[in-house]
Amino acid sequence: MLLFQVMDSRQSISDRYYQALYAKLLDPHLRLSSKQAMFLNVIYKSLKIDTSLKRVKAFVKRLLQVCSTQPPAFVCGVLYLLSEIGKVKPGIKSLVTQPEELDEEEHFTDVVDTTEDTNNPPSPAQNDVTKAPNNADHVTSSHGHVFVDSSRTPGYQANARNPLYSGADSSCLWEIMKLSRHYHPSVSRFAQNMLQGENITYDGDPLSDFTLMRFLDRFVYKNPKKKDQ
């Protein structure tokens, strides 16, 4: 939080800051942290002033992926945060409204062997995979197949270190479909609102209102029903 305030005051938030914040989302201690509200506040302020829509989309996808291992209270807080981000960055709604761009699949093609030299058998090195030049995308094996390298094709990379090069802008929010069928009714309702393009309206604090203790307190302090005379 202090680092964000210092960099924001200088109006010089660098790419390294966003890259470090992007990696922090995968911290395993986030689930049990007592500073979840402060952490989500930093993410909201950072994404709100970010000028790169491509990077904001990468944060949105990783936030929803992290929700798969988080309790319902944190998930509701993230969904509410994304709803507020959508008001400032309406471009992220294209992750829901537009289909995902599919990558080119790997495929193999047969190579016709027109020369047979029985006097000069191939060496062991030639029996192995023969690679094409560095500027080519094909690899030929000794069995007469050409492997087309699809590593250069665009697509979403969930393990990318830099959110700018994760390819999130060519993907869609398939993670929200899983949350729309969540066992917690509030998580399911918030996720369905995002799928329908509606803003999430909630006046309380999701991080405290949807905890297990708050749920059990409703039964402890609930007035007993009066028996009919």
- Confirm if 110 and 94 have CB atoms less than 8 A apart: no
CA distance 3 to 196: 36
pLDDT in tens, the chain (229 residues): 445 554 555 555 778 889 999 999 999 999 888 889 999 999 999 999 988 999 999 999 999 999 999 999 999 999 999 999 999 999 998 888 887 766 555 444 555 555 555 555 555 544 444 444 444 444 444 444 444 444 444 688 988 999 999 999 888 888 999 999 999 999 999 999 999 989 999 988 888 888 888 777 776 776 666 666 5
pTM, whole model, 2 decimals?
Answer: 0.70
Would you tell me how many other CB atoms lie within 10 Å of the CB of residue 59?
A: 23
Would you give the DSSP letter of residue 146? E
Instruction: Kindly report the backbone phi and psi dihedral angles of residue 138, in degrees, each rounded to the nearest multiple of 5, phi listed first.
Output: -115, 145
The three state secondary structure string of 154-170 is CCCCCCCCCHHHCCHHH
CA distance 45 to 57: 15
CA distance 183 to 132: 51
Q: Which residues lie closer than 8 Å to 59 by C-beta, 6 or more apart? A: 22, 25, 43, 47, 163
- Confirm if 183 and 157 have CB atoms less than 8 A apart: no
Pairing of strands 138-140, 145-148: antiparallel
